[in-house]
């Protein structure tokens, strides 16, 4: 009897493991926004068919499934990778679901990091009752290549694109110095003329 219960339990667990991937739905659409992009870039293709299309490659390489549906072993981490990750981009997924018009999930991606990574915040609600597992995922170089193929620039945008405008600040300071020099020069000339006229 005990042996029968063990076999039945093992069979039930195997069935759950086998049906878990089938229940996990991939996104139907995705779009990318971030520094240097003047509009959202669509990432087209099939989100469940693996790396055969741009969207499938993004889903597979970017850690979508372990971030949305917790997997065992879990390849995500709760700790942000160390070092400079470069500019952050945002991917918005549309996930079709049962009895819903679909859900929106957001994932951050750092394609220009030395080793590209993604992050999905835990607790994003989808399909009405489900919540994302979330976490950081180390993606690898294939993710950047996928996004570049979708329209992302090969190199990160220049610092002047989204950081403090140091060049404009320097130009402003220089203009103030020139104006002050002109004012002081005119005062000296006026003072010199006054002294000459009273002499």
pLDDT in tens, 136-187: 999 988 999 999 999 999 999 986 444 445 555 666 777 776 777 777 777 7
**125 or 19, higher pLDDT:** 125
pLDDT in tens, 22-48: 456 899 999 999 999 999 999 999 998
Together in a domain, 106 and 177: no
CB-based contact 106:27 (threshold 8 Å):
no
pLDDT in tens, 67-113: 999 999 999 999 999 999 999 999 999 999 876 678 999 999 999 99
What would the two tokens of residue 162 be? 């989204």
Count of the separate structural domains present in the chain: 2
Together in a domain, 188 and 93: no
If pLDDT is split at 50, 70 and 90, which confidence band does 51 have?
Answer: confident
pTM of the model: 0.69
Together in a domain, 91 and 169: no
Together in a domain, 148 and 106: yes
CA atoms of 89 and 136, how far apart (whole Å): 14
The region of weakest confidence among 3-7, 74-78, 153-157, 190-194 is: 3-7
Backbone angles phi, psi at 87, to 5 degrees: -65, 145
What would the two tokens of residue 67 be? 């971030």
Together in a domain, 56 and 145: yes
Residue 70 covered by a domain: yes
Together in a domain, 185 and 89: no
Q: Is the pLDDT score of 118 beyond 60?
A: yes
Peptide bond into 191 cis (omega under 30): no
**116 or 16, higher pLDDT:** 116
Together in a domain, 144 and 170: no
In angstroms, how far apart are the furthest CA atoms of the chain? 126
- How confident is the model over 9-14, as a mean pLDDT? 40
Percent of the chain with pLDDT over 70: 73
User: Residue 65 CB: number of other CB atoms within 10 A?
Assistant: 20
Predicted confidence at residue 140, as pLDDT, reads 85
Domain that residue 186 falls in: 164-199
Predicted confidence at residue 12, as pLDDT, reads 40
Q: Is the pLDDT score of 4 beyond 60?
A: no
If pLDDT is split at 50, 70 and 90, which confidence band does 126 have?
Answer: very high
């Amino acid at each position: 009897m005990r042996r029968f219960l063990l076999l039945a339990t093992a069979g039930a667990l195997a069935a759950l493991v086998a049906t878990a991937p089938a229940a996990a739905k991939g996104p139907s659409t995705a779009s990318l926004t971030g520094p240097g992009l003047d509009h959202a870039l669509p990432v087209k293709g099939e989100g469940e068919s693996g790396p055969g299309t741009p969207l499938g490659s993004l889903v597979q390489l970017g850690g979508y499934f372990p971030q949305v549906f917790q997997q065992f072993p879990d390849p995500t981490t709760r700790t942000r990778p160390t070092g400079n990750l470069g500019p952050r981009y945002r991917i918005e997924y549309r996930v079709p679901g049962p009895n819903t018009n679909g859900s929106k999930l957001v994932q951050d991606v750092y394609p220009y990091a030395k080793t590209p990574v993604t992050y999905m915040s835990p607790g994003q609600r989808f399909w009405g009752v489900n919540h994302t597992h979330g976490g950081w995922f180390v993606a690898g170089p294939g993710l950047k290549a996928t996004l570049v193929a979708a329209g992302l620039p090969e190199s990160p945008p220049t610092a002047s694109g989204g950081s403090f405008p140091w060049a404009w600040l320097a130009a402003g300071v220089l203009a103030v110095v020139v104006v002050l020099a002109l004012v002081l020069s005119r005062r000296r000339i006026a003072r010199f003329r006054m002294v000459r006229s009273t002499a």
